[in-house]
């Protein structure tokens, strides 16, 4: 993995803004992880993908994340810090062979959903995308040593299976427990590293483009030449003209 360069960030941003978040994550990682094939990235589970996004975030902006939210009860603005090392502690996932879980006397082997599975479910037009996703990821079901069809599993068992899948891929659903300092209301917030990192990168792109605007007006330099400078040097020239 490597950091994203100022010369490529505006293009990545422009492309990613028009994409579905599933594709946006792959756009980011395809540039940051040239050692991985695109197909390999698409078939990472969501937790595995997000582990890479956390690593990219740490490499780009550091380990500490400054987060903001609003209390759903009183509307107070809440500011808090998250640490990537702590979030990734105890990280669990599965390899491609999946896992067998026993639920209500059914033995179910499943693999973890990946970006391609989720995209296929969205595009299928199914009204029950959770069930569609499970159907794709359940590899084998036996009951009293006999093979059972997916459609014959009770609905309640399927609901538990969704929870088991999320537990098996611990970064796929990160819940942060919060407490309001104003009214003491307690709630949990989902942490989506993709949207968090995308917003930070967006701010960085806006800052870089502003520098291009100022420096090209002041010196007549071309965008490509300004982007190719180190951030230190861009800032140095910025200090002289502003």
C-beta of 178: minimal distance to Zn ion in Å?
A: 10
Min. distance of Cβ 79 from Zn ion in angstroms? 13
Which of 76/163 has CB closer to Zn ion? 76
Residues contributing to the site for Zn ion (CB under 5 A): 71, 73-74, 76, 180, 182-183, 185
From the CB of 69, what's the least distance to Zn ion, in Å?
Answer: 11
Nearer to Zn ion, 33 or 67 (CB): 67
Q: Is 50 exposed, middle or buried (0-12, 13-18, 19+ CB in 10 A)?
A: buried
CB of 73 to Zn ion, least distance (A): 5
Asked whether the beta carbons of 65 and 53 are under 8 A apart, the reply is: no
Q: Report the nearest approach of Zn ion to the CB of residue 80 (Å).
A: 13
Nearer to Zn ion, 104 or 179 (CB): 179
CB 176, min distance to Zn ion, A: 16
Which own/partner pairs from 102-106 qualify as long-range (CB within 8 Å, at least 24 positions apart)?
103/157, 103/160, 103/161, 103/164, 104/154, 104/156, 104/157, 104/160, 105/143, 105/144, 106/141, 106/142, 106/143, 106/148, 106/153, 106/157
Which pairing describes strands 99-103 and 77-83: parallel, antiparallel, or unpaired? unpaired
Dihedral of CA 30/36/38/39: which sign? negative
Nearer to Zn ion, 68 or 232 (CB): 68
Residue placing its CB nearer to Zn ion in the complex, 187 or 237: 187
Q: Which is nearer to Zn ion, 183 or 218 (CB)?
A: 183
């Amino acid at each position: 993995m490597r950091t994203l360069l100022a010369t490529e960030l505006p293009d990545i941003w422009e492309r990613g803004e028009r994409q579905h978040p599933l594709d946006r994550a792959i756009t980011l990682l395809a540039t940051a992880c040239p050692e991985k094939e695109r197909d390999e990235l698409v078939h990472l589970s969501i937790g595995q993908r997000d582990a890479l996004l956390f690593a990219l975030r740490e490499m780009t902006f550091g380990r500490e994340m400054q987060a903001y939210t609003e209390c759903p009860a009183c509307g107070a603005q809440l500011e808090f810090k998250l640490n990537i090392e702590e979030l990734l502690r105890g990280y669990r996932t599965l390899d491609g062979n999946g896992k067998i879980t026993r639920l209500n006397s059914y033995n179910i082997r499943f693999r973890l959903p990946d970006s391609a599975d989720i995209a296929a479910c969205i595009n299928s037009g199914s009204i029950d995308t959770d069930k569609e996703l499970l159907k794709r990821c359940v590899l084998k079901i036996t009951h009293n040593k006999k093979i059972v069809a997916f459609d014959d599993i009770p609905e309640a068992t399927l609901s538990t299976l969704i929870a088991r899948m999320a537990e098996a891929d611990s970064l796929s659903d990160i819940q942060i427990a919060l407490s309001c300092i104003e009214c003491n209301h307690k709630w949990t917030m989902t942490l989506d590293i993709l949207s968090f990192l995308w917003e930070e990168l967006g701010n960085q792109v806006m800052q870089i483009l502003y520098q291009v605007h100022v420096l090209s007006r002041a010196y007549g330099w071309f965008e490509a030449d300004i982007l190719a400078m180190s951030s230190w040097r861009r800032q140095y020239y910025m200090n002289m003209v502003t």
